[in-house]
Amino acid sequence: MGLSSLYIAQEYGAKVFATDLFADPTVNHERFESLGITDKIVPMIIDATQPLPFAKRYFDAIISVGAYNVFGDNEEMLPKLIPYIKEGGHIAVAFPGLKYEFGNNVPPEMQPFWDVPEVAKTVRGIEWWKDLFYKAAGIEIIDISEMTCHDIAWKEYLASIDQSGDDKWTLDMMAAEGGKYYNTIQLVAKVI
């Protein structure tokens, strides 16, 4: 809903393209307008897996919060994004992950949730992501690690879920997980 873009624009005065595949850009624009920052944020719907409508070497940074694992779980995605970042610029992503890769040993309490294809495909272990990121040419990895804010971030996220809505399974999954398996992964890389 443009919250990361809002934070970056307000805290750093940066010009931001708030791209999202599902958030309504009109709703985001109205939110930004109510805060008096429409001159700093351009809300857009963009599918990051498709060719992007931007010039190469245009951005100082590309930042993704909570989404990269959904579309970037392959060797092709990071190399597609790198050309849009200026030399010396950065790519920074943060997303949910696992403390270790389950492989064929999915813990019994997590097995019902691993039947959901997008969970098993997009929630991977930190070592799996490290292997993937280090394959990309044209970047220098600055950091790949578990984020220290994981517990508070998940607590705040889970508090925002409608307990009777479509995302209730997430609440059930996190209750079953009990803090044993999930983490939040961050990657920061510099374009060289």
**DSSP for 17-77?**
EEEESSS-HHHHHHHHHHTT-TTTEEEEE--TTSPPSS-TT-EEEEEEES-HHHH--STTH
* Angle made by CA atoms 140, 143, 149, in degrees to the nearest 5: 155
| Burial bucket for residue 140 (CB in 10 Å: 0-12, 13-18, 19+) | exposed
Domain identity same for 143 and 63: yes
Mark whether 6 and 55 lie in a shared domain: no
For residue 13, the enclosing domain spans: 1-46
Residue 144 sits in a domain whose CATH number is: 3.40.50.150
Q: Are residues 39 and 117 in the same domain?
A: no
- Domain co-membership, 42 together with 52: no
State how many domains the chain has. 2
150-169 per-position pLDDT tens digit? 999 888 888 888 777 777 88
Q: Which two tokens stand for residue 36?
A: 């008096």
Residue pair 182/174 in contact (Cβ under 8 Å)? The answer is: yes
pTM, rounded to two decimals:
0.89
pLDDT, tens digit, 9 for 90 and up, residues 15-54: 999 999 989 999 999 999 999 999 999 999 999 999 999 9
Same domain? 42 vs 108: no
**pLDDT tens for residues 131-142?**
999 999 999 999
* Band of pLDDT at residue 55, cut at 50, 70 and 90: very high
